[in-house]
A = this chain, B = another copy of it.
């Protein structure tokens, strides 16, 4: 049976700061292994097995992340069926409803698998097997959720109480009720009982069934979400939902809006490993601590440490821990977190403190991702700034000028097509171009490989906002 994956990736948490920042949150970062969590999620829901086949995914994200989504899918060779842009975050209920309404319009029998894009599920085959079990229940008109078999008495998750103990066949079991985040004693009881599972927020259903459930349990949502879809604007391959009706949709989770009220819920038990990486302690746990409880990554070295996470998450960075017990240290070139392991849920305090002191590290990733590629600042002086800029093949920056700065460009990889005051030329590795103050200029990569250049800006003011845009293929202001 054909399944359309619906990947939710508009969120941006702070609990994995400094690696996850508002400008570039954890789903887009290679937290575990080579691929990003979003890429791994998309890959997990692609291809086919004997019993199921995935259609091109539908992705729901926000405007700021749209080019990251497109770029990361392209990098792993997955063509998105659609990338829907939420004008503002309204939690999961409106997003899921929008996906369902759109899918049903294209195929009245559409089946959707809705999943967050920042979870870790190492055993794809086990997950596919669970989805196949779910399809049996979906065929009977059930709304299926996946219940993770608890690995420990976790107090940070909601639980699903099953109406019966799961059978050895792994088939879906009717849901008895949702259970709010428990205290430690209750969590231990549920761990022992066997018919309680973690609520992972992964769902499988026919579009028609979830739309019907919305109509029954959250009828006010349908009109604004349908209108946001009907008035949506295509934009360079993205579909921008209409802001005005979208803003009228209630800001509510699908659990509160529908799932906790619906009578036709079933739970497929999932016994294999799963993590939502809800904090650095979860990353530690998911990274396979050694016999001493130590996890290191990147250029990190642990000496006489126990129960400790040490990460070096930038190039050319060495981190050394000595005699640590129960510590999490995550270092980047521009920001370092050192926290007691029991305080994983308080990392948001670091972000709040940095915001208060006006430090850009609170929200801004060192690499600033743009539709055409990315740049990072290498050095800033009184009257100059040095940037490394990467432009994707075929991409172009806007036609622009600056009031306060001149720019020197030196191409160090690939070939650039450069326009300065109407004159166009190709500039290749080891060649340079000078852009005088006030000149109208554009940089493009006409080639087949990424183009990297070093930009040296000089002038009295070198801020990002000294820019006048004349034309922009990405329709930015």
- Which positions in A face B, CB cutoff 8 Å? 299, 301, 303-304, 310, 312, 316-325, 327, 329, 331, 333-340, 342-343, 346-347, 349-350, 353-354, 357, 359, 361, 378-384, 386, 388, 406, 408, 410, 412-413, 429-430, 432, 434, 452, 454, 456, 458-459
Contact = CB atoms under 8 A, between A and B. Distances in A.
Contacts of A432: 408, 432, 434
- Interface centre among A310, A338, A339, A383, by most chain B C-beta atoms within 10 angstroms, is A338
Contacts of A333: 317, 333-334
B381 A412 contact: yes
Given A359-B299, A413-B381, A458-B412, A319 B339 contact: no
B322 A346 contact: yes
A386 B452 CA distance: 12
B303 A350 contact: yes
Nearest to A456: B410
A329 B334 CA distance: 15
Contacts of A458: 410, 412, 429-430
A319 B120 CA distance: 28
A328 to B, nearest CB: 9
Contacts of A310: 338
A346 B324 CA distance: 12
A384 B386 CA distance: 15
Given A333-B333, A413-B381, A432-B408, A353 B320 contact: yes
Contact of A317 (B323, B334, B338, B452): B334
Contact of A329 (B301, B338, B343, B454): B338
B340 A318 contact: no
Given A303-B349, A317-B334, 13 more contacts: A316-B380, A317-B335, A317-B336, A320-B335, A322-B337, A322-B346, A322-B349, A322-B350, A379-B454, A383-B413, A384-B454, A430-B459, A456-B456
Nearest to A322: B339
